[in-house]
């Protein structure tokens, strides 16, 4: 006789008896499922909200940005190579004239020649400047663009400084800060003010990085500037969204560009990432697709995997785990041997 049946009275009446064993176990299983579902609900909602825009983007055609913003001119910083060069060609294919702002470089003239030959009906201008502290790079940018209206702005120029933070010259860090973050702020401020004053539509896109949303030792300034840029982009986006100005930051997975060649202190993790790098042109369409429908876009498997794999870990805990594990990493050991 079961425990439950003991509670029945003699005449078989069970007005206040417990349910039979079978229904109680069904109730228990039901409760467990409900509990598990409730606990996993935030994960389900997060994953759906995170992944749904990817599905939409997959089926969305690359927008005609010239038509969308009724624009004639775009500006791309770091347009001389890699991702930026891909953007320049992509914009030109849409029929947009482009201003390329990049380091004075011997490759710049041949690039302009090629662009002018490929798109004879369009105009291309170059502003060879270095985004460095104590360089007045805004003056030539303003001068070269004073007679045209830029409606599409791509803050893409950037580089990485590697090694332990204190072991690298302060000036190198400040140059990194200037190029990756401060120049983007100044350029955005200048051209956004014009767009708002003239009541024009347009877009501003930042090439940020996965390093901006995970703690990144050995590239402290790079990761910090990219975190800044993504946050800056999101904040500005909210202010101007209702004016028809789209602001978006993209976080590409490794891209096969000069980015890796300029690294002073080799980082094995970067060398490994480079093996999975895609060609710059292959992400141009996705960047264009992101501009009017995303605020922060993770591009490619590594960026998406890193976001999904880390977003549930409290940042403090993540940093602590990383700090505890770092001394066992090959890169840490290599650089630590030369430290101090």
Residues at the interface with ligand NAP (CB under 6 A)? 78, 80-84, 102-103, 105, 130-132, 156-159, 179, 207, 209, 252, 254-255, 257-259, 277, 280
Cβ proximity to ligand NAP, 202 vs 254, nearer residue: 254
Closest approach of Cβ 226 to ligand NAP, in Å?
7
Cβ proximity to ligand NAP, 187 vs 236, nearer residue: 187
Cβ proximity to ligand NAP, 145 vs 257, nearer residue: 257
Cβ proximity to ligand NAP, 68 vs 253, nearer residue: 253
- Report DSSP letters for 85-131, one per residue: HHHHHHHHHTT-EEEEEE---TTHHHHHHHHHHH-TTS-EEEEE---
- For residues 99 and 76, is the Cβ–Cβ distance under 8 A? yes
Q: Tell which residue, 79, 253, 239, 252, has the closest CA to residue 156.
A: 79
Q: Report how far residue 270's alpha carbon sits from residue 235's, in angstroms, rounded to the nearest whole number.
A: 30
Dihedral angle of Cα 225, 218, 214, 333, to the nearest 10 degrees: -170
Closest approach of Cβ 170 to ligand NAP, in Å?
16
Closest approach of Cβ 175 to ligand NAP, in Å?
6
Q: Is the CA virtual torsion 140, 141, 146, 147 positive or negative?
A: positive
Cβ proximity to ligand NAP, 258 vs 336, nearer residue: 258
Classify the phi-psi angles of 302: left when phi > 0, otherwise alpha if psi is within -120 to 50, otherwise beta: alpha
Closest approach of Cβ 287 to ligand NAP, in Å?
10
Closest approach of Cβ 231 to ligand NAP, in Å?
16
Cβ proximity to ligand NAP, 200 vs 277, nearer residue: 277
Closest approach of Cβ 196 to ligand NAP, in Å?
25
């Amino acid at each position: 006789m079961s425990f439950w049946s003991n509670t029945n009275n003699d005449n078989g009446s069970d007005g206040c008896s417990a349910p039979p064993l079978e229904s109680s176990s069904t109730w228990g299983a039901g409760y467990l499922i409900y509990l598990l579902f409730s606990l996993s609900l935030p994960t389900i909602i997060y994953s759906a909200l995170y992944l749904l825009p990817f599905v939409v983007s997959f089926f969305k055609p690359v927008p005609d940005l010239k038509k969308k913003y009724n624009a004639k001119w775009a500006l791309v910083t770091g347009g001389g190579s890699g991702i930026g060069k891909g953007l320049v060609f992509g914009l030109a294919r849409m029929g947009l004239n482009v201003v390329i702002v990049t380091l004075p470089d011997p490759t710049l003239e041949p690039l302009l020649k090629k662009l002018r030959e490929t798109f004879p009906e369009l105009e291309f201008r170059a502003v060879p400047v270095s985004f460095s502290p104590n360089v007045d790079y805004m003056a030539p940018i303003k001068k070269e663009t004073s007679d045209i209206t830029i409606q599409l702005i791509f803050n893409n120029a950037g580089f990485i400084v590697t090694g332990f933070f204190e072991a690298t010259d302060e000036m190198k860090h400040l140059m990194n800060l200037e190029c990756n973050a401060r120049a983007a702020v100044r350029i955005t401020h200048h051209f956004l003010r014009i767009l708002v004053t003239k009541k024009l539509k347009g877009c501003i896109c930042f090439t940020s990085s996965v390093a901006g949303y995970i703690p990144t030792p050995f590239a402290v300034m790079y990761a910090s500037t990219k975190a800044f840029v993504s946050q800056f982009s999101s904040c500005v986006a909210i202010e101007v969204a209702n004016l028809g100005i789209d602001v978006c930051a993209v976080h590409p997975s490794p891209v096969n560009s000069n980015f890796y060649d300029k690294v002073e202190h080799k980082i094995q993790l970067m060398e490994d990432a480079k093996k999975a790098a895609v060609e710059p042109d292959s992400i141009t369409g996705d960047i264009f697709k992101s501009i009017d429908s995303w605020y922060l876009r993770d591009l490619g498997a590594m960026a998406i995997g890193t976001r999904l794999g880390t977003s549930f870990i409290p940042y403090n805990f993540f940093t602590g785990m990383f700090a505890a594990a770092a001394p066992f990493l090959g890169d840490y050991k290599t650089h630590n041997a030369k430290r101090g």
